[in-house]
Amino acid sequence: MSPTLLGGRRHEASRTQAIISTYGVLLTVALFTAAVTPAVANASPPIVQRGGCLIADVRTGPAPSRVPLAFCDKYPAADPRGISLSASSSFLVPRLAAAIDIAEKRLCGAIGCAIKPGTSLRLIYYADHSVQAYTASDAQSVTILISAALVDSMLSTVTSLIDDLASIGGSPVTDGTPLRKWLEEIASFSGKTCPSRFRPPFGHLTAEYVNEVVAVFALAMYTFAMSHELAHIKWGAACETPAGADSPTIELACDRLATNHNDRDEYGAPVGFIIAWMVVLNHLEGLLGDSARNLGPLASLKHDGPPLLTFFPARNWTTRGNALLAEWERICVARKGDPEWCPSRAAKAYMNEILALPRPKPCQ
């Protein structure tokens, strides 16, 4: 995927608009015009690879990032699909960097409104197979760390869900679809021998459609992830929750802040896709069980002790997905039922059905 492929051509706009209008994903057709290409092209910082990390100084300031890079040396130089980091750096990192700028403008109106001008900003994409995102900041620097598994899971979810919509002209279905088949495949290993890797069944989508449409929806998904991280900076680590709030409450507040500023420009958060992504994470982490606590930065944790959701209650993805669906409906009411901002009846039924799917038991 080269940067030029992000600017979907006009003949694709009608197909995409059918998905948007039927599914109500808070995106406009402006996302699929050539206006998207400059957003990525203007966010192409120099990239340095160290071990399993791609490091980009997105904004420079007098004080560099203080996050030590030694952890990069323990990771393989490939993402969860086995693709070398050097091969993916030219198209992936500019998109993640663009997502930071888009997220900041959406959250508070302009670049520099969340991360103060003159603050150095470093992006680190690291080849971890667990879904992780962190923000480390001080008065002079901000470092955002995004795992390869987070990016891969978002791209996989977008691809399989769009295949659902495209297969019947933009109307989501609830049976026999790529996303549902993928979730069923994950659940089929519940309590059984663990598979080596999961990949969604991509179905009939053409390479052109994936490059021109999926990549742009993925950019909007990355923007949600960056909006969530920037919300921790703009509104404090606790995202304006009351003192003493627990981690699930804080993360839910950041999720809401990341989705309720969609009127600032054309890059609205694709709420339905985010909910589907959270369902996928609930399935994958349910299958991994406690072993999910022993990946990447969490490798020092032992297998014994409390279960994953007890140890990290904010990773209750079904709860967060249901909260986002409620937020989606609140935005709809605030927009006085504007169909461009509201979930359709079919979309709401689809989201409720996949959110109700049971969490798989750990595989062996």
**Sign for the pseudo-dihedral over CA of 272, 273, 276, 277:** negative
192-224 tens-digit pLDDT:
887 766 666 655 666 666 666 777 788 888 999
Considering the domain architecture, whether residues 101 and 50 belong to the same structural domain is answered as yes
Structure confidence at residue 42 as a pLDDT band (50, 70, 90) = low
Closest CA to 49 of 79, 72, 80, 82: 72
Considering the domain architecture, whether residues 102 and 184 belong to the same structural domain is answered as no
Domain limits at 89? Answer: 37-149
Q: Could you give the angle at which helices 271-288 and 148-167 cross, rounded to 10 degrees?
A: 120
Residues in contact with 27: Cβ distance below 8 Å, sequence separation at least 6, in sequence order: 20, 217, 220, 266, 267, 268, 270
pLDDT at 8 over 80: no
Considering the domain architecture, whether residues 202 and 274 belong to the same structural domain is answered as yes
Residue 26 lies in a domain: no
User: For residue 292, what pLDDT is reported?
Assistant: 52
Considering the domain architecture, whether residues 185 and 325 belong to the same structural domain is answered as yes
Residue 1 lies in a domain: no
Q: Could you give the angle at which helices 148-167 and 178-188 cross, rounded to 10 degrees?
A: 130
List beta partners, residue 121: 59, 142
Q: What is the mean pLDDT of the chain?
A: 75
Residue 32 lies in a domain: no
- Single residue among 149, 168, 192 that ends a domain in this structure: 149
H helix intervals, 242-293: 247-259, 271-288
Residue 255 lies in a domain: yes
- Single residue among 149, 164, 185 that ends a domain in this structure: 149
pTM of the model: 0.81
User: For residue 171, what pLDDT is reported?
Assistant: 52
Total number of domains constituting the chain? 2
Q: Which residue has the higher pLDDT, 29 or 142?
A: 142
**% of the chain beyond a pLDDT of 70:** 69
pLDDT at 89 over 50: yes
The letter for the amino acid at 329 is: E
Residue 31 lies in a domain: no
User: For residue 29, what pLDDT is reported?
Assistant: 29
User: For residue 198, what pLDDT is reported?
Assistant: 63
Considering the domain architecture, whether residues 182 and 218 belong to the same structural domain is answered as yes
